[in-house]
Amino acid sequence: MFLIVGYVIILAASLGTYAIHGSLLALWVPTEYVAIVGLTIGGFVAGNDIKVIKATVGALPGVLKGSKFNKAFYIDALAMLFEILSKVRKEGLMSIEGDVENPDGSPIFSKYPAIQSDHHIMEFVTDYLRMMVGGNLNTVEIESLMDVELETHHHEAAEPAHVVSKVGDATPAFGIVVAVMGVVNVMGSVGQPPAVLGKMIGGALVGTFLGILISYGFVAPIASLLDQKAHEGSKIYQCIKMVLLASMSGYAPQVAVEFGRKTLDSHVRPTFRELEEELKARKGK
C-alpha cells in the first residue's frame, strides 16, 4: 500500500513540477520507454540463473502485502513452543515423537494454523525436535548447526533484494545508452532546422531522465522492501533457535520462551506480562 502511495508522490513531484513550465508530451517517447524496459529486463535475465530469477519474481508480489510477522504471530509461535516443551517436560521426549513425525496431524501444532501453514518454519522446528528425541545432544554442536542453516536461509532470502538492487543500479546506465542512441540519431540529422534538432535532442535526453527516475524512484524502493521482508522473515528462526537451545540447556519451558521473546524486534515483541497472561489463558483451555 505504502509503495503505491510513494510512487504517486514520486510521479507528482517529478512530472508535476515539470508540467508547471514544460509540456508533458515532450516526455512521451515510447521507443525509449520500450528500450529502457527491455534493456533492464534483459540485464536481469542475463545476469541470473533460473533459480534466482524464479525466487525474485516470486518475491515481488510480497512487497504489496502486509507482513504476517506481527505480535499475534510471535505470540502464537512462542505459545506453540511452550506447549510442546511443556509436554516434553511432563511426559518425556518420546511423547512428542508423533507430533514431530506427523505435524499436520499433531493436536498441538493444529492449534496454530498461522505457524503450521508455513512449511519452512515447521520443518525447522520439527527437524530440531526430532534431534532432541534422538538424544545424545551436544548443545554447542546443535547451535553451530543451527547457525549454518540460518546463514544459508538468510543468504537465500536476501537474494531477491540483492538482485533487484543490482538491476536498479544498472538502469541509469541503460538510460544513458538510450540517450546516446538518440544523440547519434541527432548527429545524422544536422541539416534539419534548429526547432527540429532541438526536439530530437530533447527526446534523446528523455532516456537519461527515465533511467534515473525508474532506478531511484521505482526499482530502489522495491529492493529496500524486499530487504526488509527478508529481515522480518529471518527473525522467527532466531526466536525458535533461542527457545530450543534454552530448553536443551535444561531451562523450564516458561524460561525458554523468554529467551525467544527477547530476540524479537521491539515493535512486535510482546511484553513479559502479555506473554505470561496469554500462556495462562491458553493453558486453561
pLDDT tens track for 110-146: 999 999 999 999 999 999 998 888 767 788 888 999 9
Overall domain count for the chain = 1
In this structure, is residue 22 part of a structural domain? no
Q: Distance between CA atoms of 260 and 217, rounded to whole angstroms? A: 38
Q: Are residues 159 and 167 in contact, defined by beta-carbon separation less than 8 angstroms?
A: no
Q: Residue 114 corresponds to which cell in the numbers above? A: 498461522
pTM above 0.85, yes or no: no
Q: What is the pLDDT along the chain (285 residues), one digit of tens a residue?
A: 788 999 999 988 888 888 887 777 778 888 888 889 999 999 999 999 999 999 999 999 988 888 889 999 999 999 999 999 999 999 888 889 888 889 888 899 999 999 999 999 999 999 999 888 876 778 888 899 999 999 999 999 999 999 999 999 999 999 888 888 877 777 777 667 776 667 777 777 888 888 999 999 999 999 999 999 998 889 999 999 999 999 988 899 999 999 999 999 999 999 999 988 888 887 655
In this structure, is residue 114 part of a structural domain? yes
Residues spanned by the domain of 165? 27-285
Q: What are phi and psi of 135, to 5 degrees?
A: 80, 180
In this structure, is residue 12 part of a structural domain? no
Q: Residue 15 corresponds to which cell in the numbers above? A: 512530472
In this structure, is residue 11 part of a structural domain? no
In this structure, is residue 20 part of a structural domain? no
In this structure, is residue 38 part of a structural domain? yes
In this structure, is residue 7 part of a structural domain? no
Q: Distance between CA atoms of 182 and 198, rounded to whole angstroms? A: 12
**77: nearest Cα among 238, 199, 266:** 238
Long-range contacts of 66-71 (CB under 8 A, 24+ apart): 66/1, 67/229, 67/232, 68/114, 69/232, 69/233, 69/235, 69/236, 69/268, 70/268, 71/268, 71/269, 71/270
Q: Distance between CA atoms of 235 and 25, rounded to whole angstroms? A: 48
What does the chain come to in residues?
A: 285
**260: nearest Cα among 279, 275, 241:** 241
In this structure, is residue 278 part of a structural domain? yes
Q: Which residues of 68-106 are buried (b: 16+ CB within 10 A; e: fewer)?
A: ebeeebbbbbbbbbbbbbbbbeeeeeeebeebbeebeeb
**177: nearest Cα among 45, 47, 48, 37:** 37
Q: Are residues 118 and 69 in contact, defined by beta-carbon separation less than 8 angstroms?
A: no
